[in-house]
Structure 1
Amino acid sequence: MIGDRTMEEVPTTVLCSERCHLGEGPTYDAATDTAWWFDIVECRLFKARLDTGRITIHSLDVMGSALGRIDAHRQLLVADDGLYVRDAADGRMTLYCPLEADNAATRSNDARVHPSGTFWIGTMGRQAERELGAIYALHRGELSCLYESITIPNAICFSPDGTIGYFADTGKNMLFRVDLDAATGLPRGAPVALVTRRGGGGIDGAVVDADGLIWNARWGGGCIDVYSPQGEHLRTLRVPARQSSCPAFVGPDFSRLLVTSAWQGMAEEAKRADPDHGRTFVLDVAARGRPEPDVKLATG
């Protein structure tokens, strides 16, 4: 169990003032200096050119939650009914494989690419029903279930060398650590509890920097918590929106942190008390971030 630390203030800007009902799934393509993220509930995909500040909002026919880069021209988009190959230029999407398409009660949620190219993907109940979710791995084109009976899968991320995986069940407010095969991104043992949070918000999305530190958004806490690989709580950085949801390293040197947020479930009074609710931010954290790996699909 952990307690709160003094909250640090770092230089912060609003990247996108458009409010997300449920902002999630940010990622960054360094080759084009472009950030991507989702408004899951409203079926929207955001694109931001960081060099120009230009924001483009794409409407989706599915409830997308995350994406990974396949190559310079294609992305693999995670949605409520399957995984889609998306053309980055024109937005055309082709179903790659179904994902719980026969279960109307669930949708996709948090996801991240392992250094090997294996894509870990979480699902959950549309109403956050208890233990209705799971975590899958897409390894060389084959989708397999890693963990079942998860309420809200979050914080999927990996150590720089690929030997450690992390994930959270926000329903339990616990962050887990598991040993992985670095070559495949698949588990080599059972997960163990690393962090348990009591009060002050929920463990949400996370990303690992080049030093192996875990940068975790705290839903309801309006902040980013930084943990060591051993689970030691090192820092807490303020985010201007209370329901901060997920971070991603951005910029040519990956020294800044993009953070999404949400207004899901907030009453009007709570929104008024949280004027930046649902907006997307960039925090100048002077971190040693790292680029996201590309997704590797089936060979041949």
Structure 2
Amino acid sequence: MTTTSPGPAATTPPLTVPEAVVLGDQRCLLGEGPTYDAASDTAWWFDILERRLYAARLGTGAISVHPLPFMASALAYVDDACQLLVTESGLVLRDTATGRLDVVASVEADNAVTRSNDARVHPSGTLWFSTMGLDAEPGAGTIYAFHAGSVVPLFPGITIPNAICFAPDGAIGYFADTAAGTLHRVRLDPGTGLPLEAPTVLHHHAGEGGLDGAVTDAEGLIWCAIWGGARLNAYSPEGEFHRSVPLPAKLTTCPVFVGPGFDRVLVTSAWYHMDDAARAADPHHGRTFLVDVGARGRAEPRVRLGGR
């Protein structure tokens, strides 16, 4: 099934939610890649262009900033001691205690046009991640899988690959091309996270903004940040627009469910390409938020490093 988002005059009312909580005073030029570690009650996210990794202890509100020697856009936990970072030149292992960085796999390291972008771990432990052009060059992006210790190209020729997420049972994968306004679905092997067929278009986005990062909740709804739209949209597994949650920053980028009950959503945002007037009109530009969307998520899977 292919459906289309309602435009600005849609009759479906937005969900009424409590006011979003601003998480700290930091602003990200291009905030992205939030993830949550339930064991330590810590949320992580990146400012890609400023080369920073943020960590927030949600129980205390303490936020720390870790400078990076490269652009990075997402991470996944390997175990309590190590994270796998998705970076401009490939996959890098990070020691959470010392910050030590070790290259696991080079990906497009010799391509000066591209950087990393979106990512999410499949329930099997396979990591899907994407690249895109630094200036969103048409067709420069690719979605890859890191499976059994190897990097496998899945879907090349995408301009802005985003919205990577999976059905709770791992049988379906989703991704978007923001530039084309299309959300795709593809049937997967639940045991490997690898495609069983070619993807099809599930949904065409119309109206303000574009499809950015996404996550599925425990019921299988797809919660997608709308870049330029100041909101999260929820879509059914059949691609039907379900509801919309307003957010206080225009350039929302990516959500993740957080908290002991996975009953809140952390959302990153940006102020990339915003001039002084645009920033003044959008006072929460680039900030990170916590919001109750009336849904419950689940823990992010840990990534598997080959035979480890």
TM-score range, shorter chain: over 0.9
Aligned to 1:261: 269
Aligned to 2:155: 147
Which moved further from structure 2: 108-117 or 3-12?
3-12
Q: How does 1:80-99 map to 2 (within 5 A)?
A: 80-99=88-107
2 CA distance for matches of 1:82 and 1:132? 16
CA displacement at 1:16 relative to structure 2: 2.5
Aligned to 1:43: 51
CA displacement at 1:17 relative to structure 2: 2.1
Aligned to 1:110: 118
Aligned to 1:244: 252
Which of residues 268, 290, 293 in structure 1 aligns to 2:298? 290
Which of residues 134, 138, 149 in structure 1 aligns to 2:142? 134
1:213 aligns with 2:216: no
2 CA distance for matches of 1:184 and 1:155? 19
Count of aligned pairs: 300
- Matched position secondary structure for 2:214: strand
Q: How does 1:18-37 map to 2 (within 5 A)?
A: 18-37=26-45
TM-score normalised per structure 1: 0.99
- Matched position secondary structure for 1:16: coil
1:2 aligns with 2:10: no
Which of residues 190, 196, 207 in structure 1 aligns to 2:198? 190
TM-score normalised per structure 2: 0.96
1 CA distance for matches of 2:155 and 2:121? 17
2 CA distance for matches of 1:150 and 1:162? 23
1:273-299 CA distance string (max 9 Å, x none): 000000000001231200000000111
1 CA distance for matches of 2:89 and 2:5? 36
CA displacement at 1:89 relative to structure 2: 1.1
1 CA distance for matches of 2:208 and 2:202? 18
Letter in 2 for 1:2: S
1:160 aligns with 2:163: no
CA displacement at 1:7 relative to structure 2: 2.7
Gaps of 5+ in 2: none
2 CA distance for matches of 1:195 and 1:36? 29
CA displacement at 1:10 relative to structure 2: 1.5
CA displacement at 1:6 relative to structure 2: 2.6
Which moved further from structure 2: 207-216 or 281-290?
281-290
2 CA distance for matches of 1:287 and 1:74? 29
2 CA distance for matches of 1:17 and 1:25? 18
- Matched position secondary structure for 2:234: strand
2 CA distance for matches of 1:8 and 1:186? 35
1 CA distance for matches of 2:189 and 2:161? 21
- Matched position secondary structure for 1:131: coil
CA displacement at 1:8 relative to structure 2: 3.0
> After TM superposition, which residue ranges in structure 1, 4 or more long, deviate above 3 angstroms?
none
2 CA distance for matches of 1:112 and 1:17? 27
**Partners of 2:222 and 2:235 within 8 A in 1:** yes
Letter in 2 for 1:220: G
**Partners of 2:5 and 2:207 within 8 A in 1:** no
2 CA distance for matches of 1:237 and 1:230? 20
